[in-house]
Amino acid sequence: MQVITPPKVYPVIIIGSGASGGMAAWNLTRQGIDVVLLDAGDKFDRAKYWTHVPPWETQARLARGEKPETFFLDTKEQPYLTPNDRPFALTRVWGHGGKTNVWGRVSLRLSELDLKAADRDGWEIPWPIAYKDIAPYYDQVEQLIGVNGGTDDSDVLPGSKYLQPPPAPRCGERLLQKAMGKLNIPVVAGRRANMTRPTRGFPACHYCGNCGNGCDTASFFCSADHLLPFALQTGKLELRSNAVAARILTDENGLATGVQYFDRRTGSEQQVRGKVVVLGASCVDSTRILLNSKSSRHPNGLGNGSDVIGRYLCEQIRLNARGYLPALEGTATRNDRGIGGEHIYMPRFNHRPGRGRDYLRGFGAQFWNTWSNWNGPQEGSDQIPGFGASLKRQIKRRHPAWFEIHPFGEALPYAHNRITVDPKRVDKYGVPLLHIDYRIGENERKMTEHMADTIEEIVKAAGGVLVNYKRGNLDAMGSAIHEHGTCRMGADPKRSALTAFNQMHEVKNVFVVDGSAFPTATEKNPTLTILSLSWRATDYLAQEIKRGNL
């Protein structure tokens, strides 16, 4: 195959256009730096978003042969491997904006409690940054993207200064909130990146609740709406679509010189040259690219002399408990879709006096009434006894009463939880496939017990009934879609791959700005922190370029 090497050398090549890559592109271009951005997919077609299409209209449209936008990458196009007995449910979005097109929008700051966890308990390496290092970036990101939430700050959730008003709780959320109050379990307004006020020219959320299908009005943060167009307006961004990055190319000194990629439509091999590479392809895909970028100077993958890259994969554990509140049975059906999913959140509390357990780290939980989606009435109603008019009446009575509790817990980093690439199994471009080997341990199992106790305690206090609940059952590994840790930052180059500014210890002109940089997963949803760290890292990068160091 003929390799075409264009002569232009870009100051910066960014791989990936989601939260991390999109932020890098936005922040560098506005500082006058020329960037070429490679995304493995194309722009998603807003005309094909079916967010305002109720089920009955969906049926009519499908019958006419129309199809909604599909955001998710098909494993038939890009397979990945796991051990036979340890499946991992990997979710990938290739296309402008990546997973921010359909993300859960939960935006929780890490606190000193999170960032100092490893300093306290000694499990694996600590974060090389403190809350004060990242707090100014959280402030900026929240103002930029529009996060709603309460003013209920705590040691777990600090910094509500710039939050927009949160949506009111639904009935079931009120009752659960009251029950938690009685139990002295903390509960706050959710903090999520739905704009409840018009922000930077984007209209406020209109509460259709279908955010999981993309947003018709760009009223929740999506990199393709809120970052990339502004970066393009500077004239400094060249955006290459359908560019599936395979390897970072290096010179005889081991420094990056460019990126090899494949055109997703034609399969042809391409290269782009650059002085700096910023990797933001998501934790799993950035790790794959680094491990596939082997050379004589980097035989173990790019910048992986420490052998930490690919290891310490920490994907949060989670489960979904469902039940109903008899107190709400028979109340009127309401339009409760809201901002989709939870309006209230239980911050971690197991660090509080008298609440401790025999495991490390913690968990939080989201709570919602389920009339926020259309699948509500079918899940669990078949457990109502009998049939006929009485069954129909009871399903209707119970309909407003359903709730869900959705805890997320930190999984510790373990060296054996590992992403590797398999040279014998390649994708259609000939690039070695991902292999993900992930399992949880005793710490996570003990935490699951505490999650179950907490759910049961709250539901009991609220007078609720759990349905189809199996104590201790977790969702499939990978379901949190919060992968971290496989290219972690740290002070010690022997035990980490990146500096505190996301710069590779071993390759100074490569930065990795996505979730793979996190040394710990924490129990919190990571996107707000990814945006903040990417902003911080690219501020540093811009300075280094201006100083002539890169």
Residue ranges binding other proteins (CB under 8 A): 51-52, 54-56, 58-60, 62-63, 167-171, 173-175, 178, 206-208, 210, 331-333, 335-336, 338-339, 343, 357-358, 374-375, 377-383, 385-389, 391-393, 395-396, 399, 453, 456, 459-460, 464-471
CA atoms within 13 A on the CB side of 198: 3
CB of 469 to other proteins, least distance (A): 5
Backbone angles phi, psi at 138, to 5 degrees: -55, -45
Nearer to other proteins among residue 230 and residue 374 (C-beta): 374
Helix (H, G, I), strand (E, B) or coil at 119: helix
Q: Which is nearer to other proteins, 299 or 386 (CB)?
A: 386
The answer to whether the beta carbons of residues 7 and 517 sit under 8 Å apart is: no
Report the nearest approach of other proteins to the CB of residue 196 (Å): 8
Between strands 344-346 and 188-189, the pairing is antiparallel
Closer to other proteins by CB, 52 or 546: give it: 52
DSSP element (H, E) containing 10: strand 9-15
Q: Please, which residue, 78 or 196, has the CB nearer to other proteins?
A: 196
d(Cα 344, Cα 160) in Å, to the nearest integer? 15
What is the smallest separation between the CB atom of 172 and other proteins, expressed in angstroms?
8
CB of 473 to other proteins, least distance (A): 10
Q: Which residues are bridge partners to 258 per DSSP?
A: 249, 273
The answer for residues whose C-beta is within 8 angstroms of residue 233's C-beta and 6 or more apart is none
Residue 91: other Cβ atoms inside 10 A = 16
CA distance 283 to 305: 19
DSSP 202-216: BPPP-----GGG--T
CA angle 346, 440, 191 (to 5 degrees): 25
Q: Pick the closer one to other proteins by CB: 343 or 488.
A: 343
Which residue, 170 or 505, is less far from other proteins as judged by CB? 170
**Closer CB to other proteins, 10 or 202, in the complex:** 202
Least distance in angstroms from the C-beta of 393 to other proteins? 8
Closest distance to other proteins from the beta carbon of 372 (Å): 11
CA torsion sign, 367 to 372 to 374 to 376? positive
- Nearer to other proteins among residue 61 and residue 494 (C-beta): 61
CB of 169 to other proteins, least distance (A): 5
Q: Is 485 left (phi over 0), alpha (psi -120 to 50) or beta?
A: left
Write down the least CB distance from residue 298 to other proteins, Å: 45
Nearest distance, CB of residue 391 and other proteins, angstroms: 7
Give the separation between CA 227 and CA 392, rounded to whole angstroms. Answer: 48
If the CB atoms of residues 119 and 453 are measured against other proteins, the closer one turns out to be 453
Comparing CA positions, the residue from 315, 245, 282, 310 lying closest to residue 89 is 315
When the beta carbons of 96 and 399 are compared against other proteins, the nearer one is 399
The neighbouring-strand residues paired with 404 are 322, 368
The CA distance from 162 to 196, in Å, is: 12
Give dist(CA 533, CA 517) in Å, integer: 9
Q: How far is the CB of 446 from other proteins (least distance, A)?
A: 9
Residue 345: in which H helix or E strand, if any? strand 344-346
Quote the least distance from Cβ 445 to other proteins, whole Å: 13
- For residues 299 and 388, which CB has a smaller minimum distance to other proteins in the complex? 388
The tokens describing 261, both together, are 């990629």
Distance set, CA 486 to CA 228, 255, 287, 337 (Å): 26, 21, 7, 36
